[in-house]
Chains A and B, each alone.
Chain A
Amino acid sequence: MTAVVDRVSTGPGPTVPRPEARDSKKRRRLLESLEGWGFVAPALVIVLGLSIFPAIWAFFLSLEKWNGFSEPVNVGFANYQQMVGDTELQDALGHTILYVVLFVPTSVGLGLFLAVALNRNIRFIGIYRTAIFIPFVASAAVTGILTTYLFNPQFGLFNNILRVLGLPQQGWLEDPAQAMVVITIMSLWGQAAFTTVIYLAALQDMPGELMEAARIDGANKWQVFWQVVWPQLTPVTVFATIWQVIGAIQLFDLVYTTTRGGPLNATQTIVYYLWQTAFQKLDFGFGSAIAYGLFALTLLITIGVVIYSRRTKIEAF
């Protein structure tokens, strides 16, 4: 911020010139245009240059076979056809769906539950809030190291707790049936703050009169919540669900920092497969086709939920 403030050191500017009456309108519009574009152009060039331009380029790449060194060969839609028959990609889609099913309902549910719990003025509430929110700053690399340590089958904390309780030891990340569950648990740890915060903001914005009225009419707390508060939270729920689904479909970094797709490919997600295809096998064409497939999937889900919520008159958008 200091960098911005320092720029204010120029002296008083020249007074606005007054051109002749005739040309002035045209000239002023031109000047206004130049001025406007001058303000927005630097950021616009970076944002559009690093998104729309590569997105279009990716489509042309998806029509080629290319490893970055040899001459690219145009293969039409062969890469997209290859996607249909690729069993590894289908497995990756299955693992991604498993993660979406594990992560999205729990993260939305946990967020709602924590928001309701934190939305009250009791002792130590600031400490509870900090404890729940702080993991949000943990990066994927940090979370990956913590996960492999806490869930280590030999000396990790969780197996140690099971041992003390006399329960059987688990393989966790080394067990194909449990690895995705462990990744979900640690994703929840790091990201529960997000859904909690948006529910909390909605709860605090809610006018109290309706709840008062319901309580006067004899409703108990449970009824007030499910019949008065919950319906009003629907837009937040719809939004949080879409947002978490889009994020969950793109799971990559926590897989990279924990299991690298293993054990027995059990945590290989679409984006992990995409990364391997493009940057380990150097198949840029097939990688771009997978990326477009992922984009289409994301768009379809988003459009589907928007249409559904419009039809049912939920005003989330």
Chain B
Amino acid sequence: MTAIAEAPARLPVRKRRPLPFSGWHFFLLPVGVLFAIPFVQMFLTSVTPASEINKFPPRFIPSAISLDGYASLFGTSDILLWLGNTLIVSSSAIASHLVLCSLAGYGFARLKFRGRHFGFFAVLATIMIPTQLLMIPTYILFSRVGLIDSLGAAIVPWLASAFGIFLMRQFFLSLPAELEEAAMIDGCTRLQVFFRVILPLAKPALATLAIFTLLGSWNDLVWPLIAINNDHAFTLQLGLANFQGTRRTQWSLLMAGNVVATLPLILFFVFAQKQFIATMTFSGLKG
């Protein structure tokens, strides 16, 4: 689509030249439809009247739009509380990741201090450790410090990550060192150089890191499932997973819950598609 938008600027003579038809459409169209079906079904079912849901034969498109699913979702469950909890977890995860990982990434990329090689090696080594190995001791540790069953249990593991440190270090290594040297000669301290000169240049890397943290912390299920049993501290994902047992057949309510949990990320994706793709590519190339 960008190609269509740019074409008039580059070739003013040939206005809106349609792109040639390609045989690939015969492949891409059905594949695209298949990939779209689950989300389309999710939106449609969330507005299907209760009377039509368990009807046979089932309908793909409801005959009328009903907001009953949303009404009972907001009226009979704690979804707003869980949404608030998830917002707290994700926003503190993102804020903390951006500050701590960029500080550490900069330290490892630019500062010369004793033990830096060992420290960075230790960070890389942790990427190899599967999270399953950490669940039991972390659960015991958190229960000793009183974090279990509180929102803090979901927040603390997301304050910083090896991936974040690695990503920021790689980015800072790619910046020319002369920039900081000039600022240091002008009498700035390291911290001032970092916040005034370096961070403003790091926006693309920070965007990648923010999306990585948002996706991970928003969608995390395994750890909250282990650490939080108290439904006042449920995250959105935990609440949804719990619905499957308690609201088994209330499909329009379940799908409305799915929409609440997914729509923010879908909108984010549509508006920041480039950064999302950069995040996916980088998270694949870290190995």
The reply to whether B111 and A144 contact each other, CB–CB distance below 8 Å, is no
Residues in A258-284 with C-beta less than 8 Å from chain B: 271, 274-275, 278-279, 284
The reply to whether B188 and A13 contact each other, CB–CB distance below 8 Å, is yes
The reply to whether A149 and B41 contact each other, CB–CB distance below 8 Å, is yes
Which B residues touch A252, using CB under 8 A?
132, 222
Q: How many residues of B contact A (CB 8 A)?
A: 124
Residues in A263-307 with C-beta less than 8 Å from chain B: 271, 274-275, 278-279, 284, 287-288, 291-292, 294-295, 298-299, 302
The reply to whether A193 and B280 contact each other, CB–CB distance below 8 Å, is yes
* Segment with Cβ contacts to A, from B62-70, B72-80, B134-142, B174-182: B134-142
Contact among B25, B45, B273 for A122, CB-based, below 8 A: B25
The reply to whether B19 and A137 contact each other, CB–CB distance below 8 Å, is no
The reply to whether A10 and B129 contact each other, CB–CB distance below 8 Å, is no
Q: Which chain B residue has the least Cβ–Cβ distance from A283?
A: B136
Q: B20: CB under 8 A from chain A?
A: yes
Whole-angstrom distance between the Cβ of B27 and the nearest chain A Cβ: 6
A114-B269 in contact given A43-B104, A295-B133 (Cβ < 8 Å): no
The reply to whether A141 and B261 contact each other, CB–CB distance below 8 Å, is yes
Q: Which chain B residue has the least Cβ–Cβ distance from A56?
A: B137
Q: A216: CB under 8 A from chain B?
A: no
Q: Which chain B residue has the least Cβ–Cβ distance from A45?
A: B160
When chains A and B are docked, how far (Å) is the Cα of A8 from the Cα of B3? Answer: 39
The reply to whether B157 and A50 contact each other, CB–CB distance below 8 Å, is yes
When chains A and B are docked, how far (Å) is the Cα of A126 from the Cα of B2? Answer: 8
When chains A and B are docked, how far (Å) is the Cα of A50 from the Cα of B98? Answer: 18
Q: B165: CB under 8 A from chain A?
A: yes
The reply to whether A10 and B237 contact each other, CB–CB distance below 8 Å, is no
A-B pair count, CB < 8 Å, reads: 331
When chains A and B are docked, how far (Å) is the Cα of A132 from the Cα of B277? Answer: 12
The reply to whether A140 and B219 contact each other, CB–CB distance below 8 Å, is yes
* Segment with Cβ contacts to B, from A34-42, A81-89, A174-182: A34-42
1/0 contact string of A90-134 vs chain B (CB within 8 Å): 000000000000000000000000100110111111111011111
Q: A309: CB under 8 A from chain B?
A: no
Whole-angstrom distance between the Cβ of B199 and the nearest chain A Cβ: 6
The reply to whether A141 and B159 contact each other, CB–CB distance below 8 Å, is no
Whole-angstrom distance between the Cβ of B50 and the nearest chain A Cβ: 13
Whole-angstrom distance between the Cβ of A114 and the nearest chain B Cβ: 7
Which B residues touch A150, using CB under 8 A?
37-38, 41
When chains A and B are docked, how far (Å) is the Cα of A123 from the Cα of B24? Answer: 10
Q: Which chain A residue has the least Cβ–Cβ distance from B220?
A: A139
Whole-angstrom distance between the Cβ of A297 and the nearest chain B Cβ: 9
1/0 contact string of B108-141 vs chain A (CB within 8 Å): 1001111110010011011011111111111111
Binding site secondary structure of chain A: helix
The reply to whether B114 and A47 contact each other, CB–CB distance below 8 Å, is no
When chains A and B are docked, how far (Å) is the Cα of A150 from the Cα of B34? Answer: 12
Q: Which chain A residue has the least Cβ–Cβ distance from B258?
A: A142
Q: How large is the interface on A (under 10, 10 to 19, 20 to 34, 35 or more residues)?
A: 35 or more
Which B residues touch A192, using CB under 8 A?
35
When chains A and B are docked, how far (Å) is the Cα of A124 from the Cα of B28? Answer: 10
Whole-angstrom distance between the Cβ of A309 and the nearest chain B Cβ: 12
Whole-angstrom distance between the Cβ of A239 and the nearest chain B Cβ: 6
The reply to whether B111 and A35 contact each other, CB–CB distance below 8 Å, is yes
Contact among A39, A136, A239, A317 for B103, CB-based, below 8 A: A39
Contact among B189, B257, B261, B285 for A13, CB-based, below 8 A: B189
Contact among A4, A125, A256 for B99, CB-based, below 8 A: A4
Instruction: Report the 5 A-B pairs with minimum CB-CB distance, sorted nearest first.
Output: A36-B113, A39-B107, A139-B219, A54-B137, A43-B104
> What residues of chain A have their CB less than 8 Å away from a CB belonging to chain B?
1, 3-5, 7-8, 10, 12-16, 32-33, 35-40, 42-44, 46-48, 50-55, 57-58, 61, 68, 114, 117-118, 120-128, 130-146, 148-150, 154-157, 160, 163, 186, 189, 192-194, 197-198, 201, 239-240, 242-243, 246, 250, 252-253, 256-257, 271, 274-275, 278-279, 284, 287-288, 291-292, 294-295, 298-299, 302, 317
Beyond the given pairs A40-B116, A139-B218, A189-B38, 16 more chain A to chain B contacts, judged by CB atoms under 8 angstroms and listed by A's residue number, are A7-B195, A32-B112, A46-B100, A54-B134, A58-B136, A61-B140, A124-B28, A132-B31, A134-B270, A135-B35, A146-B41, A149-B41, A163-B57, A252-B132, A275-B222, A278-B135
